Amino acid sequence: MNQGAKESAARLDSLILGLVFGARRRVGWWAALAVSLGLLGLFVVSIAMVVGRGIGVWGLNVPVAWGFAIVNFVWWIGIGHAGTFISAILFVSEQSWRASINRFTEAMTLFAVACAGVFPLLHLGRIGVWYYLLPYPNDQGLWPQWRSPLMWDFIAILSYGTVSALFWFLGLVPDLARFRDRAPKLWQRRVFGLLALGWRGSSSQWIRYGQAYLLLGGLATALVVSVHSIVSMDFAISLNPGWHSTIFPPYFVAGAIFSGFAMVVTLLVPLRRMLGLGEWITLRHFDNMGKILLLTSLVVTHGYFMEAYLAWHSGDPQEMELLRQRLSGDASAVFWATIVFNSLLPQILWASSVRRNLGLLFVLSLLINVGMWLERYLIVVSTLEQRFLPASWGAFSGSFWDWGLFVGSFGLFFTLLLLFVRALPVVSLHEMKEHLAHETKEGGSDG
Amino acid sequence: MGKEERISFDSGIMARFEAERDLKAACSACEELGVGPWEAFTPYGVDGIEKPGTESAKRSVSKGVLVGACLALAIGYALFYYSSVVDYPYRVGGRPVHSWPAFVPMLFELAVLGGALTAVGLALFGNGMPAWAHPVFYFKGMEDVTGEGLFLWVSCEREGDFEQVESLLREARALSWERKEHGK
């Protein structure tokens, strides 16, 4: 490392240590935490209502037996995928720009998966016996039904949550050791010392650590593709019009990365300012994320087009009717909002000036988040409202507790995120130092 | 010398360096002169510190992950087969009880999970962790190893080793060093 890189590394070190150990009062952070805790309260009350009174408090009916719980589940788990994409795929493909944002996005993944995991459990209807999903020898002689997509989901979420947590923790270990060595108070040194597990930074440790991290990145890459493919198969293996389609897995994966990157932008724009990370999370990062948003928007748009084309080309009356309902029927408002937010508006990202305009990017990312939620609403609800026989058609609208759970889940997400940024290193210090050292080498002035 | 935990920290020299290239030069010199065993300590993974056994350590992690993934897959398949074919055969929609295509998505996820658990296990337990107490923590200034400090430990067990290593460190422009002798 040359002198400039060393100074940069020292500045980053003191900034990240200061976020956790500094005495500065952060009014914005406290205000955000207060709002998040309020929403978390709503979430807890909504869960209590569902557990206490049953899922009848939701707007579900016959024929719409899947509602907000499934929409929210798909939406949250999709958001997690951008974190895994950044930490795993960009790591394996040696995109060094990810180093300053991967820790944060990994945390985002973890918390999004935590939110996502709540909904299928509640959707079971009898949360008290959720453990029936576990394969354990029991006195009833029952086993889970492995041919059911519910079990596929359960194992996919279990694997995804566990691997995301492992990936996050493994990346944290050297930085926890940094905190152990710099914490001002004894109890803090003890806590971080315990968590760091005795990391010493020896070359033998780095060799095994680096190899394991690389392999874990490769495995997590497989998860980005497989988890949302499995989620999409919940729909695709059914025979419902609008769901029974081979296009679903790639269409869902692209949508997941699209919505996840939108959430990364939504979170990073204000947090970058709040935490003073402007030097590390630069316009280049937003420019790159803007490009990924544009690319995934085009893939998702292709999915929309193909979905409509295949419905028309199939000549199947149910598929045609569903398409008609979406284009000009009862579902048209949600459908066209989806198209505007997810397909048309992102086209402004062709201009690099837009990709580097944080205000505009923030607003766009919010609209994409809304658009992607509407897309899932369209897939889940509008299909169920109009299946085969017109006599069995019905309408759905979310109840107060449906909305309470959805809005309240932001409370869980943001509370965890805000506690994370004040308790753990929000930027990967060791990766940034390695990145700075590499830059020095490329500049040829080590020493 | 692939494993750090095989190195004795009872007698030797812990040196500190300012620049990566000086540390790397000192490591290479240790190898050439046959002193040591030695171990470098750095705040991030430094490319080019090639210890004997590096490749085999990497290979052992890769093989371990493959074995872990295959094991999870085999256990998963055995569980699915036993529960749905042997212990609780239940026909749904006329499909065979051994509907293996329906097991594939879960088997894939379980293989990834098994591989990931093995990777983390090898990265931690294979690296001698957890180890909340370790001799290297007691050297002066070692708390900087997670910040900006670059350190090199060279074991000195034979007569004359200390002098040879100190001359090597001087040549490699070490900033400072600390001797540790048996029983002191």
Residue A331 has pLDDT above 70, yes or no: yes
Structural domain including B59 reads 54-127
Q: Which residues numbered 61-80 in B keep a CB inside 8 Å of some CB on A?
A: 61-62, 65, 69, 79-80
Both B117 and B154 in one domain: the answer is no
The larger pLDDT score, comparing residue B149 to residue B74, is at B74
Q: Are A416 and A38 in contact (CB under 8 A)?
A: no
Compute the nearest-CA separation of A199 from chain B (Å).
Answer: 7
Both B90 and B111 in one domain: the answer is yes
pLDDT the model gives residue B183 = 65
ipTM: 0.91
Total domains in chain B come to: 2
- Measured CA angle at B29 (ends B27, B35), to 5 deg: 90
Give the number of beta-carbon pairs within 8 Å between A and B: 215
3-state secondary structure of B154: strand
Task: Give the bridge partners for B152, in sequence order.
Answer: B15, B40
Q: Provide the pLDDT confidence category of residue A445 given band limits of 50, 70 and 90.
A: very low
Both B120 and B62 in one domain: the answer is yes
Residue A240 has pLDDT above 50, yes or no: yes
- How far out from the chain centre does Cα A44 lie? 21
Both B48 and B59 in one domain: the answer is no
Tens of pLDDT along A265-309?
999 999 888 888 888 888 988 999 999 999 999 999 999 999 999
| Average pLDDT for A248-259 | 91
* Contact flag B128-A198 (C-beta cutoff 8 Å): yes
Tens of pLDDT along B134-160?
888 888 888 888 988 899 998 887 777
Q: Which residues numbered 183-222 in A keep a CB inside 8 Å of some CB on B?
A: 193-194, 197-213, 215-216, 219-220, 222
CATH classification of the domain holding B46: 3.30.70
Tens of pLDDT along A425-436?
988 899 888 888
- B136 domain-assigned: no
Both B84 and B38 in one domain: the answer is no
Contact partners, residue A280, CB within 8 Å, separation at least 6: A12, A100, A427, A432
Tens of pLDDT along A109-156?
999 999 999 999 999 888 888 888 899 888 888 899 998 888 998 999
Pick from A74, A235, A53, A45: nearest CA to A127 = A53
Pick from B72, B77, B157, B75: nearest CA to B116 = B72
- Measured CA angle at B105 (ends B103, B107), to 5 deg: 65
Tens of pLDDT along A61-84?
989 999 999 999 999 999 988 888
Both B63 and B101 in one domain: the answer is yes
For chain A, which domains are there? Answer: 3-443 (1.20.1630.10)
- B133 domain-assigned: no
Lowest mean pLDDT among A148-157, B43-52, B57-66: B43-52
Residue B1 has pLDDT above 60, yes or no: no
Residue A67 dihedral angles phi and psi, to the nearest 5°: -130, -130
- B25 domain-assigned: yes
Q: Provide the pLDDT confidence category of residue B2 given band limits of 50, 70 and 90.
A: very low
Both B46 and B58 in one domain: the answer is no
Indicate the average pLDDT of chain A: 90
pLDDT the model gives residue A443 = 53
* Contact flag A215-B61 (C-beta cutoff 8 Å): yes
Both B34 and B63 in one domain: the answer is no
